[in-house]
Chain A
Amino acid sequence: MSTNGNVAERAAELRDEQVHARRVRVDRMFAVLLGIQYLAGILGAIAVSPYAWAGKEKVLHMHVWIAILGGGGIVILPILLAIFRPGTTLTRHVIAASQMLSSALLIHLTGGRIETHFHVFGSLAFLAFYLDWKVLLTATTVVAADHFARGIFFPESVYGIANPEWWRFLEHAGWVVFEDIFLVWACVLSLREIDAAAVRQAEVEHLQEQEQLKSAALEMALAELKATA
């Protein structure tokens, strides 16, 4: 193989190592984040609406059950994948979908507060840490599907009006896409920078190897000279 081929191969290896290590770290970060969000959802539900009442009688509020069981069901798979299959494509796509479903759940648990919708945008920024624009596509699809489904079954909960236009979910998804455009661009730029750094490191390693070979050859030549002198 040519020298350039060796450098390119080593650069690709370094790049893959670096990107994989980064994605494993992000998987672990999301495993912790999903766990924290799960607990926050339960605490939020208990704080906002602990009981449903019928006169003097009270029972645990449906929101608390949904936070415990629904929230638990949403986070269990991504957390297990982050532990057992870190750094894989499947893991980060499941994490992206679960993070968006957690957003939808938190929005419900806080009674549809507009402020909780910011969780979606914050989550997209965190997902961009993967430097994989396809993950953002998965997250955006889940958000759009959630809005589309809720728009059909109970539109007031997502749009605040009873009869929204059929395309209203596209408008909401459009704002997510607006953020996506910049995040995708940032992902591509960051990957290019990692590529460039990997090429530089591979070249340095190659030069060091060449220098070592030259030094070894020189030392050998000197040793031969000394022997013949």
Chain B
Amino acid sequence: MTRRLRTAVLIAAALLWVSTVAAAFQAIRRFETTPGRAAIAPRTWPVSSRIQRAADWTLVMLIHPHCSCSRASVQELQAVIESAPTVHPTVLLYRPTSFPRGWEKTDVFEAASRLRRTRVIIDDDGREARLFGGFTSGQTFLYDRNGTLRFAGGITSLRGHAGINRGRTDLVDIMQARAARGTHPVFGCAIASVTEEAK
């Protein structure tokens, strides 16, 4: 390789290097900070839901089993369970009925199944999720003993980022009577695709 060609290759690589670093930073920033579609949650408990309401607080989380970002949501739910000893959460795990059984058995499913005091329910085609008006994996709802919605939102700070965040602290504060209600952006995969929603 001639000296001139070598220099040209190195200059091109330098330009590529600088632009890639800037573009990658921007892409990561946009991806991680863009929340999913927020729920249009009913203000009162949806009576047609097959989930049994708890005596005091009823916590429901929607999960897409293949959403890698939802590992963080499950991890945060563990922290909520540790902070609120009376809560018995329900995790609704999305599964399309047209897919083979076992499709939903992922590490996210396993992690949710290992949570203490937690019931995991397979949500065929996201029917229960629709009753709660949820669209995004990680979406969490908290209803009080009267069936009034007190919290709707996500409990992670960003996509796939576990760690203390406003959503988790608000949820715990409500259950410990330090706050009345709350909401927080939700980060995760869509529970249903656009074509499924249109049906």
Shortest distance in angstroms between B174's beta carbon and chain A's nearest beta carbon? 18
Chain A residues contacting B67 (CB-CB under 8 Å) are 52-53
Shortest distance in angstroms between B1's beta carbon and chain A's nearest beta carbon? 8
Chain B residues contacting A66 (CB-CB under 8 Å) are 24, 27-28
A55–B96 touching, CB < 8 Å: yes
A101–B158 touching, CB < 8 Å: no
B24's contact among A48, A52, A74, by CB below 8 Å, is which? A74
Shortest distance in angstroms between A160's beta carbon and chain B's nearest beta carbon? 4
A70 to B, closest residue via Cβ: B24
Report if A172 contacts B (CB, 8 A): no
A156–B165 touching, CB < 8 Å: yes
A81 and B10 in contact, given A49-B160, A62-B31, A154-B29 (Cβ under 8 angstroms): yes
What is the interface size of chain B, counting residues whose CB is below 8 A from a CB of the partner? 50
User: Would you give 13 A-B contacts (Cβ < 8 Å), ordered by A?
Assistant: A48-B68, A55-B94, A76-B17, A81-B10, A84-B6, A111-B71, A112-B161, A157-B157, A157-B158, A157-B161, A160-B157, A160-B164, A162-B157
Query: Scoring A residues 40 to 76 as 1 if CB is less than 8 Å from chain B, else 0, what string do you get?
Result: 0000000011111111111001100110011011101
B28's contact among A48, A57, A108, by CB below 8 Å, is which? A108
Q: How far is the CA of A126 from the CA of B131 in the complex (A)?
A: 55
A77's contact among B14, B94, B126, B164, by CB below 8 Å, is which? B14
B160–A55 touching, CB < 8 Å: no
Q: Which positions in B face A, CB cutoff 8 Å? A: 1, 6, 9-10, 13-14, 16-17, 19-21, 23-25, 27-29, 31-33, 64, 66-69, 71-72, 94, 96, 98-99, 126, 137, 157-158, 160-166, 189-196
4 more CB-based (< 8 A) A-B contacts, given A54-B192, A84-B1, A111-B68:
A73-B16, A76-B13, A80-B10, A111-B72
B68's contact among A49, A65, A94, by CB below 8 Å, is which? A49
B196–A55 touching, CB < 8 Å: yes
A73–B21 touching, CB < 8 Å: yes
A154's contact among B13, B33, B126, by CB below 8 Å, is which? B33
Chain A residues contacting B165 (CB-CB under 8 Å) are 156, 161-162
A74 and B66 in contact, given A112-B161, A156-B165, A161-B164 (Cβ under 8 angstroms): no
B21's contact among A55, A74, A162, by CB below 8 Å, is which? A74
Chain B residues contacting A76 (CB-CB under 8 Å) are 13, 16-17
Q: How far is the CA of A149 from the CA of B189 in the complex (A)?
A: 26
Shortest distance in angstroms between B135's beta carbon and chain A's nearest beta carbon? 10
Shortest distance in angstroms between B74's beta carbon and chain A's nearest beta carbon? 12
Q: How far is the CA of A48 from the CA of B69 in the complex (A)?
A: 10
Nearest 5 pairs of A and B residues by beta carbon: A73-B20, A70-B24, A49-B68, A156-B157, A160-B163
Shortest distance in angstroms between A162's beta carbon and chain B's nearest beta carbon? 6
Q: How far is the CA of A160 from the CA of B21 in the complex (A)?
A: 23
Chain B residues contacting A161 (CB-CB under 8 Å) are 163-165
Q: How far is the CA of A165 from the CA of B120 in the complex (A)?
A: 39
Shortest distance in angstroms between A1's beta carbon and chain B's nearest beta carbon? 35
Chain A residues contacting B14 (CB-CB under 8 Å) are 77
B20's contact among A50, A54, A72, by CB below 8 Å, is which? A72
A154 to B, closest residue via Cβ: B33
B23–A70 touching, CB < 8 Å: yes
A69 and B20 in contact, given A55-B96, A62-B27, A153-B29 (Cβ under 8 angstroms): yes
A56–B157 touching, CB < 8 Å: no
Q: In the complex, which of the residues A50, A69, A111 has the most CB atoms of chain B within 10 Å of its own CB atom?
A: A111
Q: Which residues of chain A from 119 to 168 have a CB within 8 Å of any chain B CB?
A: 149, 153-154, 156-157, 160-162
Chain A residues contacting B72 (CB-CB under 8 Å) are 111
Q: How far is the CA of A112 from the CA of B28 in the complex (A)?
A: 12
Q: How far is the CA of A56 from the CA of B194 in the complex (A)?
A: 10
Report if A206 contacts B (CB, 8 A): no
Report if A10 contacts B (CB, 8 A): no
Chain A residues contacting B126 (CB-CB under 8 Å) are 55
B192–A74 touching, CB < 8 Å: no
